[in-house]
């Protein structure tokens, strides 16, 4: 940060200037070391901050945080001090926003701040789960191990998200191509045939009459239909953004056929991974549950986790309150009970997470396997109907026209 100062020099002259420092206290100390007596000190806030503008449009990818965590762990294990390690990583990072954040973290640590506190000042790059795990690693003296565990945790999340994206890419592309093909047929091909049919004045088959009637209706009311759909979509989007709407949408997502189970498995596996990781690094269970709640965006999961957290604080443990809520599947409840009895909760939950991730992958592959042929059949029926309507009309005209 940049500060403008007014101060007295050692020969009692009044001087003005600017300097860069991590905070107001650090700026005052720098001026004092230089022999200046501070009169006023104000942070300079530029009207047009190019750094903030670049940060707003520069996204920090999770892969970059994973690489940062692994490299920092490697440097610390080799005996390099934390500030030097951060400076080395800063020189290698290509993302400008992350480069600046690493520099700020190094400056904070030079000023006496711990790594976890310095990271917590940059929530865009480092989540609450991340810096709390780092804090536990600092207290336990196993910071390198925690950094690697966090990297593994984030890497599993990225892998799961990529699998879902890849599975949905093909069906989405097929739908887009199908809409384009049907749009071209109805917009450009059909009007030409309609003009031909009208010129001959022949009786048209039922399929052709239906297709022409549907096209005429869309030409007359298509804009109104699109407007209604747009209004409904906007209202639905606005409602989902409200707390009540977000809760209802998240709850409904678990009830969807085929996909509902996949969504639930993904949420529970992420929850299990979070609890296992934070419990393993040594955080107390109530705080672990708070971090698990903070780590999910699904309001239905947030609700049941909050209820479990309060039951845990009352001394009921984890397995018992989980068993009373339907969103927690039997395997998770049973393994949590085993983990509580044996004191091995992190390993049992990691096993549950692995099981749920495997089941989610299998169900996602099966769902995509069902979606693809179903879409091909639906598209084939629509295109076939258009083709039959056109060609049956042509054959009908040939049969009715006398040459």
Query: Which is higher by pLDDT, 328 or 12?
Result: 328
pLDDT score recorded for residue 177: 79
What number of residues does the chain have?
403
Lowest mean pLDDT among 16-20, 210-214, 285-289, 371-375: 16-20
User: Percentage of the chain with pLDDT > 90?
Assistant: 8
What is the rounded average pLDDT of the residues 20-24? 67
Q: What are phi and psi of 117, to 5 degrees?
A: -65, -40
Beta bridge partners of 14: 8
pLDDT band at 21 (very low <50, low <70, confident <90, very high): low
Query: Which is higher by pLDDT, 248 or 365?
Result: 248
pLDDT over 60 (residue 51): no
Chain centroid to CA 358: how far?
20
pLDDT over 70 (residue 101): yes
pLDDT band at 401 (very low <50, low <70, confident <90, very high): low
Q: Which of 132-141, 142-151, 153-162 has the highest mean pLDDT?
A: 142-151
d(CA 160, CA 168): 13
304: nearest Cα among 278, 282, 324? 324
pLDDT over 80 (residue 63): yes
pLDDT over 90 (residue 231): yes
Cβ proximity of 262 and 308 under 8 Å: no
Instruction: Report the sign of the C-alpha dihedral through residues 282, 286, 291, 296, in that order.
Output: positive
Instruction: Report the sign of the C-alpha dihedral through residues 97, 125, 107, 277, in that order.
Output: negative
Lowest mean pLDDT among 86-90, 201-205, 253-257, 371-375: 201-205
pLDDT score recorded for residue 211: 78
Cβ proximity of 356 and 272 under 8 Å: yes
pLDDT score recorded for residue 232: 93
Q: Against a cut of 0.75, is the pTM above it?
A: no
pLDDT over 50 (residue 403): no
What is the rounded average pLDDT of the residues 282-307? 87
pLDDT score recorded for residue 235: 92
pLDDT band at 400 (very low <50, low <70, confident <90, very high): low
What is the rounded average pLDDT of the residues 367-391? 78
pLDDT band at 191 (very low <50, low <70, confident <90, very high): confident
What is the rounded average pLDDT of the residues 150-157? 84
178: nearest Cα among 34, 311, 371? 371
d(CA 152, CA 331): 23
Mean pLDDT, rounded, of the chain:
81
User: Percentage of the chain with pLDDT > 70?
Assistant: 89
- The model's pLDDT over 300-338, given as tens digits with 9 standing for 90+, comes to 999 999 999 999 888 888 899 999 988 899 999 999 999
pLDDT over 60 (residue 49): no
* Other beta carbons within 10 Å of 257: 7
Chain centroid to CA 26: how far?
37
């Amino acid at each position: 940060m940049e500060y403008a100062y007014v101060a007295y020099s050692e020969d009692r002259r009044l001087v003005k200037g600017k300097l860069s420092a991590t905070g107001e206290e650090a700026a005052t100390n720098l001026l004092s070391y230089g022999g200046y007596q501070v009169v006023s000190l104000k942070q300079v806030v530029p009207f047009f901050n190019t750094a903030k503008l670049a940060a707003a449009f520069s996204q920090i990818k999770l892969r970059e945080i994973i690489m940062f965590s692994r490299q920092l762990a490697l440097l610390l294990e080799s005996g390099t001090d934390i500030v030097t390690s951060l400076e080395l990583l800063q020189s290698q990072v290509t993302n400008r926003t992350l480069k600046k954040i690493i520099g700020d973290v190094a400056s904070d640590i030079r000023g006496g701040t711990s790594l976890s506190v310095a990271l917590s000042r940059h929530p865009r790059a480092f989540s609450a789960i991340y810096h709390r795990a780092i804090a536990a690693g600092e207290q336990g003296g196993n910071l390198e191990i925690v950094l690697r565990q966090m990297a593994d945790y984030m890497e599993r999340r990225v892998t799961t998200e990529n699998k879902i994206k890849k599975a949905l890419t093909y069906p989405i592309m097929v739908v887009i191509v199908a809409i384009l093909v049907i749009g071209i047929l109805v917009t450009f091909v059909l009007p030409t045939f309609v003009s031909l049919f009208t010129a001959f004045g022949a009786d048209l088959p039922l399929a052709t009459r239906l297709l022409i009637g549907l096209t005429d209706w869309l030409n007359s009311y298509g804009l109104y239909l699109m407007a209604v759909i747009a209004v409904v979509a906007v209202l639905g989007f606005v409602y989902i953004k409200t707390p009540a709407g977000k809760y209802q949408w998240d709850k409904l997502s678990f009830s969807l056929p085929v996909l509902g189970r996949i969504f639930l498995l993904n949420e529970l596996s992420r929850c299990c991974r979070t609890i296992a990781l934070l419990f393993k690094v040594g955080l107390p269970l109530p705080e672990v549950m708070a971090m698990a709640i903070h780590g999910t965006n699904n309001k239905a999961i947030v609700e049941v986790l909050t209820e479990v957290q309060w039951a845990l604080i009352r001394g009921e443990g984890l397995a018992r309150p989980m068993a009373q809520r339907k969103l927690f599947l039997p395997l998770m409840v049973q393994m949590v009970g085993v983990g509580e009895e044996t004191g091995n909760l992190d390993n049992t939950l990691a096993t549950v997470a692995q099981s749920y991730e495997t089941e989610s992958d299998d169900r996602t592959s099966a769902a995509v396997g069902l979606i693809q042929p179903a879409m091909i059949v639906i598209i084939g029926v629509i295109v076939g109907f258009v083709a039959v309507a056109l060609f049956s009309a042509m054959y009908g005209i040939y049969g009715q026209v006398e040459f």
